[in-house]
Structure 1
Amino acid sequence: MLQASAQKLVDGLETDSTDLGRAQRTTLTLAQSHCLLDPRASIFPTWDAWVTAMQVSSAVFAAATTSEDHVQCRIAHEDRTLQATGPQHYVTPGSWTTAFYLAVICREKDRITALCHVPLALLRENGSRFDAYHYNWISTLQAYWLGKPDLGEKLVSAVDGTDPEIASDPETAGKLIYPPMEMFHRFLRKDHAGFTQALANALQWHREYWTEESRMYQSPGLVALAPLAMACIAHDAGIPIGVESEYLPATLLGRNWYGEFPT
């Protein structure tokens, strides 16, 4: 049922590209759900689902930022012509970080670069309010990838914004948002032992957050998306990842399926 829903949404994007928000959520849910039965992401259908989620997530921003009437995006093994959407309610800091993490996990350098050129102003035009740390974290990641100055200051601002006395949702900020920031900080310092500890802490907090009774059956709990992305960055930079977890699919981390088909 979920597979069929995802495919229907993807196939309808050329008709109504403003369905990209729903398509992003559904394809990500499908990718995460594959890891329930395939926690190492060892089989091809799991990788295929993660690539599709990555492609849809990147397409959200390709369609939102294009200066043309249409944009070509490859999604689910087909080149699709999507309408320009401009700002939408689903073009948010959360959808951006999801797209960034997925592009990192799938090692899609061109898509990461495109995402890092998305202006923060666009992410403020969705009609919703987000804590400052969301924007500061995005600014940090963009600065890192594009080699911009003031990276350390941007990271400090992002971390400071997750302070429980400031954050509007202290639990989410503390258990899900701050941990990848700490991992990134350790990565930048080339602190291998500190990175390993930060990763272990991130996975523990992920477990605590998603095994709380009201959340324990939700698909985002199946994979620690942000810690996995930070671990992928570290892995590719030569930092040994000394932590194994069902929340950290080993085959995605090791990029074993990378290059299997055109993406």
Structure 2
Amino acid sequence: MVTRIPRMPLPTGRAEEGITVLQENTQELIDELEEDSTDLGDAQTIALTLAQSHCLLDPRAAIYPTWDAWVTAMQVSSAVFAAATATGEHVQCRIAHKDRTLRATGPQWYVTPGAWTTAFYLAVICREKGRITALCQVPLTLLRENGSQFDEYQYAWIDTLQTYWLGGPDLVDKLVRAVDGTDPEVASDPETAGKLQYPPMEMFHRFIRKDHAGFTQALTTALQWHKQYWGEESRIYQASGLVALAPLAMACIAHDAGIPIEVESDYLPATLLGRNWLGEFPT
């Protein structure tokens, strides 16, 4: 039996106009990256906002412009780390249908654990194995050089994902450390840790145990928490709430491994999950 989790109803009256403006701003910022590659942080944010915003009117991600926006967000997010880890003065990155020469940036304020997980999730959703591998070779030490402090569970979760993808040791121990760090008694922001950060960890836990029923329940719970978190009055109109990014990525991993996804939701765009657009154009 398939579980259906509806998305919060949102007004769409001026959505097309807003998306058009967002598209223009995103393209303008991307076109300036070769001149100033340290704008990658802002470019990642706006490109992801555009991709998520498309799903307001196209919740299944069924039309080409939506896929195009998701690929661009993935490309910009990967470029953040390609530039940060580049050993020469420049690095070639394909972004928005064009090969671009970006300057190496080294550590920056925007090279954070959150930027890395976003890049990882997007690469998983777009099934970009080469980019996933490159992201999993980013040293954790780089993510500590941005001038800010983040909860240790964020680093432990990244360590878990990198270990899984590269086939490294101590996967379960690393996952346990990540999960323990989301405890309300430990996390600096218990609500975000509990409702957004922990659920994909539980999905991953069920996935590596090959617990199909447990995975379905964990996915259902993740979407319910996502809906509750982004349904708060102060957050309801933010584009970040339109798609459950981390649960979608975990569902993509499970889907590709043959686990049936028995949950349907606009928070989980069906065409992205089913990789229907794969190979549509060079990425």
* TM beyond 0.5: yes
TM-score between the two structures when normalised by the length of structure 1: 1.00
Q: Percent of counterpart pairs with the same letter?
A: 81
**Matches of 1:225 and 1:87 in 2, distance apart?**
25
1:153 equivalent in structure 2? 173
**Matches of 2:63 and 2:236 in 1, distance apart?**
25
**Matches of 2:140 and 2:29 in 1, distance apart?**
27
Q: Cα offset for 1:231?
A: 0.1
Q: Alpha-carbon deviations, 1:18-48, whole Å to 9, x = none?
A: 0000000000000000000000000000000
1:65 equivalent in structure 2? 85
- SS of residue matched to 1:212: coil
1:29 equivalent in structure 2? 49
**Matches of 2:238 and 2:57 in 1, distance apart?**
15
**Matches of 2:127 and 2:23 in 1, distance apart?**
24
For the pair 1:18 / 2:56, whether they are aligned, the reply is: no
1:81-230 to structure 2, matched below 5 A, reads 81-230=101-250
**Matches of 1:5 and 1:119 in 2, distance apart?**
32
**How many residues are paired up?**
263
Q: Cα offset for 1:145?
A: 0.1
Q: Alpha-carbon deviations, 1:41-71, whole Å to 9, x = none?
A: 0000000000000000000000000100000
For the pair 1:241 / 2:261, whether they are aligned, the reply is: yes
**Matches of 2:238 and 2:265 in 1, distance apart?**
18
Runs of 4+ in structure 1 over 4 Å off: none
The structure whose RCO (Cα within 8 Å, separation 6+) is larger is 2
- SS of residue matched to 1:120: coil
Q: Alpha-carbon deviations, 1:118-147, whole Å to 9, x = none?
A: 000000000110000000000000000000
Q: Which amino acid aligns with 2:55?
A: C
- SS of residue matched to 2:263: coil
- SS of residue matched to 1:251: helix
Q: Cα offset for 1:247?
A: 0.2
**Matches of 1:103 and 1:132 in 2, distance apart?**
23
